[in-house]
Amino acid sequence: MCPPKGASARSSRLPDTTRGFVRSSREPSTHPQVTRMTTLTDPLHLIGTVLADKYEVQALAGEGGFSVVYRAKHLAWDQTVALKFLRTVEAAKDTERHALLEAFVREGKLMIELSTATTAVVQARDVGTFCPRHGETIPYLVLEWLEGSALDDTLEAEARAGEPARSLGQVIACMDAPAEALALAHRRGIVHRDIKPSNIFLVRSEDPTSPTVKLLDFGIAKVMSPDMDRSQALQHTTLSLRALSPTHAAPEQFRRSYGATGPWTDVYAFALVLVEMLRGGLPALDGEDPVALGMASCDPTRRPTPRSFGALVSDDVEAVFAKALAIRPVDRYADMGDFWSSLRAAAGVAYEGPSSAPRVSAASARTRPASSALSIPETVAHAPQSGAVSETMLGGALLEEPGTQVARTRTKRLSLLVTAVSALTVGLLAVGIGVGANRAGPVPALESPDGPSSTSATSAAVVEPSCPPGMAYVPGRSFFRGSNEAGHELWAPAHKVRLAPFCVDVHEVTAAEYKSCSDVGECLRPAPVPFWPRSETIGEKEHTRSLEAHGALCTFGKPGLERHPINCITWDQAAQYCKHLDKRLPTEAEWEFAARGSDGRAYPWGDDLPDEKHMNACGTECTSWQKARGVRAGPRMYDKDDGFAGTAPVGSFPAGVTMFGLHDMIGNVFEWTGDYMAGYGAADLADPTGPDQGTRRVIRGGAFNGGHPLWVNPAFRFAMVPETRSHGIGFRCASRPSDARGTGDSHPAG
């Protein structure tokens, strides 16, 4: 958490989208479009009224180019809330208005979804519409009311008080919650596109040294009408420059030739914010106006990494920032989760999950000289090895150059006065006239971040990675596959694997889904009796009896089992089903990453010990079934009844859902993967697909009759001959996402 140092710049702040265009009373206004807080009135004539029979409107809190925010009280809860009205619809064309209203409601749903999943996003409570006395229906969002100060105001106040800049360890501790919130949004296909210090808010708490840090303004840029031309956008919505905050804009936001915006755009902006925190609030991009800032953002010789400003950071930390701030999106981290885990690893900060981010207390405030080598307090960072961790290892302090207050004020003024220079700026940038064009680097052409005009207000040029229905998006990322645990040579050695983004089925393929394929002649019907090679430790009669007994657990074509995973099918049958849908079986590496992620969790669902609530494995119901049918009983995973002697309907164990929203990755049925079995090597790999030939195919995940604790480990791997038709083996499919950068996986499995 971020400790506020010195006086807060504001006593309250709303999560409004207009903060860049609303001045505080202490700053002089130099443009009529910039509304001073002291002169606000009541543009919608709402003060004193009650909306929806529950929101008593009390005061106007803020107003800007496309929205107006009121403070209100929820009458039933006696709680202060913020009502945010989208005024763009008043100026929209009749053909645009309905689509714009739908888009706004859809964005409200996204905010509610995110704020339900994490407290680090401003909480959305409700959505509604309001009919003013004269005019069209105006939609509004009900948001939580926040008391505290934004990060830029906090940094400015600290600088005025003479506080030294934060160390890297303290920056990571402070920004962990918003970073994890942004990573969550990226996993769900949501892009912010306006990350900057003014959209990161420190909420005042009972403990003044430990405020909650929240991410504001999520997704609002997406509801702006992309078919307005530049003049309309500036006049009605300020879209072109609202969605492009030049002080924190990525190269693709200045010049579309670099590609579309996406999660990688947020990575760039977030890295700039971190650098500015390391600089005590000084700007990371050097420029007096948006033209110069665009040049700095796109100039390969002027990358704003920590070392470029004199930070004593390790090679690994500098490399992480260099990648996050790369000019081409394809050279950056694909999403926030990848960037954040890489930075923590490079800085030596152990991952503890979003709910346990270390807090920085006043006692650990930055009071030592900026040039000294410091040891990080235990409340800030947890090192992977014992002993004190030097400040140079975690990033070090900065040597601040002269003129810092001037630079800080300049950046603040740019953010606040962007509308005052908008007309001139757009003209200069659009035609490529280079203010300071003799400098190295391209002169960016400012375009609407949503691309060229379109016919629909809801169509956006920002093509985010997406997956077919029923599949989850898994971002490209690095992780350590396997394990170095003693006695498990088949999993060893642990080695680094880099994966491109991919899609994977949320659920195992069901019996009904497979039947739909066989009914149209695209998939072979499963044989009525299972098959697997006989073990040398089991006699022929016992093996035959076991096959016959377990045949009752095959799910194909059996009433009541339509939602159970298909089983008793060969590898070829599974692969053919996926191929029929233009999909494929996941590679072994994809399966393991989808199950475990890269955050160091012990099990797919986290670190809670496995039990009957997390998965369908072998409990008392399993051994009772085996005993009743004369089948040799194996060990139990737990001494409780999970309710299913055989397979369970997919999704029956929500406590076992993975970080990517996948069900039944452990338990229910093993799952075929695309790889032949082979031993691991120690070398780093990129999108491995296993050997080209072999005799056995890898299966992963354990089954309903699994009693071995090893099966719960996401690194556990086993293999069967592809002709196996087991009651304990099913599958799910994978595919390539539609990716704006074209970096999705394209390799076949098998």
pLDDT in tens, 129-154: 888 766 677 888 898 898 888 999 99
What amino acid occupies position 93? K
Strands 212-215 and 200-203: antiparallel
Q: What is the pTM of this model?
A: 0.46
In whole angstroms, what is the distance from residue 104 CA to residue 405 CA?
39
- Segment holding 113, helix H or strand E: helix 94-117
Q: Is 585 left (phi over 0), alpha (psi -120 to 50) or beta?
A: beta
CB 670 within 8 A of CB 571: no
In whole angstroms, what is the distance from residue 122 CA to residue 107 CA?
13
CB 74 within 8 A of CB 54: yes
- How do residues 147-199 score in pLDDT, each as one tens digit? 888 999 999 998 888 888 889 999 999 999 999 999 998 888 888 888 999 99
Torsion angle, alpha carbons of 390, 392, 396, 398, to 10: 130
Domains of the chain and any CATH numbers? 149-430 (1.10.510.10), 471-513+578-735 (3.90.1580.10)
pLDDT at residue 113 in the model? 79
Task: Return the residue matching tokens 């119901």.
Answer: 621
CA angle 104, 107, 113 (to 5 degrees): 145
CB 689 within 8 A of CB 747: yes
pLDDT at residue 724 in the model? 95
pLDDT at residue 64 in the model? 60
Give Dmax over CA atoms of the chain in angstroms: 92
The torsion angles phi and psi of 45, rounded to 5 degrees, stand at 55, 50
Task: Return the residue matching tokens 């040891």.
Answer: 375
In whole angstroms, what is the distance from residue 722 CA to residue 682 CA?
27
The torsion angles phi and psi of 580, rounded to 5 degrees, stand at -60, -30
Nearest partner of 82 among 59, 107, 108, 115, judged by Cα: 59
Nearest partner of 67 among 16, 22, 116, 31, judged by Cα: 16
In whole angstroms, what is the distance from residue 304 CA to residue 580 CA?
48
pLDDT at residue 461 in the model? 33
Instruction: Provide the residue count of the chain.
Output: 750
CB 491 within 8 A of CB 698: no
Nearest partner of 13 among 130, 108, 122, 156, judged by Cα: 122
CB 234 within 8 A of CB 91: no
In whole angstroms, what is the distance from residue 672 CA to residue 728 CA?
11
**What are the counts of helices (DSSP H) followed by strands (DSSP E) for the chain?**
18, 21
CA angle 288, 216, 219 (to 5 degrees): 90
In whole angstroms, what is the distance from residue 606 CA to residue 585 CA?
25
Distances (CA, A) of 521 to 516, 524, 529, 567, 650: 9, 7, 21, 19, 25
Distances (CA, A) of 495 to 598, 604, 658, 679: 13, 19, 22, 12
Based on the number of CB atoms within 10 Å of its own CB, is 117 exposed (0-12), middle (13-18) or buried (19 or more)? middle
pLDDT at residue 343 in the model? 96
In whole angstroms, what is the distance from residue 421 CA to residue 288 CA?
12
pLDDT at residue 88 in the model? 63
Task: Return the residue matching tokens 């840029």.
Answer: 221
Task: Return the residue matching tokens 């790369």.
Answer: 326
In whole angstroms, what is the distance from residue 153 CA to residue 171 CA?
16
CA angle 201, 207, 212 (to 5 degrees): 25
The torsion angles phi and psi of 128, rounded to 5 degrees, stand at -160, -175
DSSP output for 15-55: --TTGGGEE-TTS---STTSEEGGG---TT--TT-EETTTE
In whole angstroms, what is the distance from residue 106 CA to residue 324 CA?
30
Question: Encoding tokens for residue 179?
Answer: 């970073």
The torsion angles phi and psi of 656, rounded to 5 degrees, stand at -100, 10
What amino acid occupies position 195? I
pLDDT at residue 56 in the model? 96
Strands 148-150 and 138-144: unpaired
CA angle 746, 339, 341 (to 5 degrees): 105
Interhelix angle 151-160/404-416, rounded to 10 degrees, is 150
Nearest partner of 740 among 268, 258, 179, judged by Cα: 258
Residue 80 β-bridge partners: 73
Of all residues in the chain, the percent with pLDDT exceeding 70 is: 70
pLDDT at residue 92 in the model? 64
In whole angstroms, what is the distance from residue 86 CA to residue 83 CA?
10
Torsion angle, alpha carbons of 52, 53, 54, 60, to 10: 60
Nearest partner of 688 among 588, 595, 592, judged by Cα: 588
- Segment holding 240, helix H or strand E: helix 239-242
- How do residues 588-618 score in pLDDT, each as one tens digit? 999 999 999 877 788 999 888 889 999 999 9
CB 540 within 8 A of CB 534: yes
Nearest partner of 683 among 479, 497, 500, judged by Cα: 497
Task: Return the residue matching tokens 């089983």.
Answer: 567
Averaged over successive runs of 10 residues, the pLDDT of the chain (750 residues) comes to 41 31 28 32 89 94 76 94 79 68 71 82 84 77 89 91 89 93 89 91 76 75 33 31 75 86 94 95 89 88 88 89 95 95 84 35 28 22 25 26 41 38 26 27 31 31 64 89 82 92 96 96 92 84 84 93 96 98 97 87 87 92 87 86 93 90 94 96 94 96 88 91 96 83 43
First to last CA, the chain: 47
What amino acid occupies position 691? P
Q: What is the 3-state secondary structure (H, E, C) of 341-396?
A: HHHHHHHCCCCCCHHHCCCCCHHHCCCCCCCCCCECCCCCCCCCCCCCCECCCCCC
Q: Which residues contact 280 (CB under 8 A, 6 or more apart)?
A: 155, 158, 159, 163, 164, 165, 166, 398, 400, 404
